Amino acid sequence: MRLAITRDVSPRFNECELTHIDRTPIDVHIARSQHHGYVQALKDLGFAVLELPAEPDLPDSVFVEDTAIILPEVAIITRPGADSRKPETESIAQALNPYRELVHIESPGLLDGGDVLVLGKHIFVGLSTRSNQAAVDQMNHLLGKYGYHAYGVEMHDCLHLKTAITRVDDRTLLINRNWVDIENFEGFDLIDVDATEPFAANCLPVGNAIIYPVAFPNTAAKLRERGFALKDVVVDELAKAEGAVTCCSLIIEN
């Protein structure tokens, strides 16, 4: 099974939470069109897509990644750091229930999925404005029986850990080393984003390709030079809400 869960853009998308970028007007119609293109990219790469309807009163709810962590054995329902986003998890838990056993992060834990980078049995969690050490401790308690270990990672100047670093494949990571310390990732092959494209470190490997924004051509060229196949998407309107390509889906592969 290859399934992606997505959610359409809320009509209140302009009221999204912002932390590290300035607010600029978002055209919701363009954002929806770009999101539909992203969904089509997932379908083109062989994924069935469960498309959830927009949540009218939850501005950030298109960014479903923040609500859950999908592992082969279990799914963690998060507790988002922004109070306005905490209600997003209920409908995601319902959607995931047929596919995984569910466990939950509880107070005082705070966790956004965008802060969670899973590399084999190692789980790196960005200690950001949205995720805390209490959540890391709970993850270790919940996941230890499956052989996972979670680590808190210091980061700065960006919203989520996966703004600064993402997985390209099992051995390779795409990184902006100005925002996270590379000492956390010894033993991996690191591809640095182009210096002119600080937000280019977020990529989504699915199937035999990597979903990647057209907005970062210089970093895209680096990935292609290394032999990676890219599936181009236009997501600049979604990026005005501090969103990126990993943010807009939950990927389930069995």
**Given 35, 160, 203, 248, which residue is catalytic?**
160
Question: Does the annotation mark 158 as catalytic?
Answer: no
What count of other Cβ atoms lies within 10 Å of the Cβ of residue 97? 12
115-145 confidence digits (pLDDT tens): 999 999 999 999 999 999 999 999 999 999 9
**Given 16, 203, 247, 248, which residue is catalytic?**
247
Average pLDDT over residues 196-220: 97
- pLDDT exceeds 90 at position 220: yes
By residue range, what is the domain housing residue 185? 2-253
Question: Does the annotation mark 203 as catalytic?
Answer: no
Average pLDDT over residues 210-224: 98
Amino acid 21: pLDDT = 85
In the three-class reduction of DSSP (H, G, I as helix; E, B as strand; rest coil), residue 123 is classed as strand
Cα(9)–Cα(184) distance, rounded to whole angstroms?
34
Give residue for tokens 């009163």: 57
- Name the burial class of residue 60, with classes exposed (0-12), middle (13-18) and buried (19+) by CB atoms within 10 angstroms of its CB: buried
Amino acid 171: pLDDT = 96
- pLDDT exceeds 90 at position 180: yes
Amino acid 1: pLDDT = 86
- pLDDT exceeds 90 at position 234: yes
- pLDDT exceeds 90 at position 153: yes
Residue 108: cis peptide before it, omega within 30 degrees of 0? yes
Give residue for tokens 């592969």: 253
- Name the burial class of residue 4, with classes exposed (0-12), middle (13-18) and buried (19+) by CB atoms within 10 angstroms of its CB: buried
Residue 22 main-chain phi, psi, to 5 deg: -75, 150
Amino acid 239: pLDDT = 97
Q: What is the CATH number of the domain that holds 29?
A: 3.75.10.10
Amino acid at 104: H
In the three-class reduction of DSSP (H, G, I as helix; E, B as strand; rest coil), residue 212 is classed as strand
pLDDT level of residue 254 (50, 70, 90 thresholds): confident
Quick one: how far is CA 45 from the chain centroid? 18
Average pLDDT over residues 226-243: 97
Cα(174)–Cα(177) distance, rounded to whole angstroms?
9
Number of domains in the chain: 1
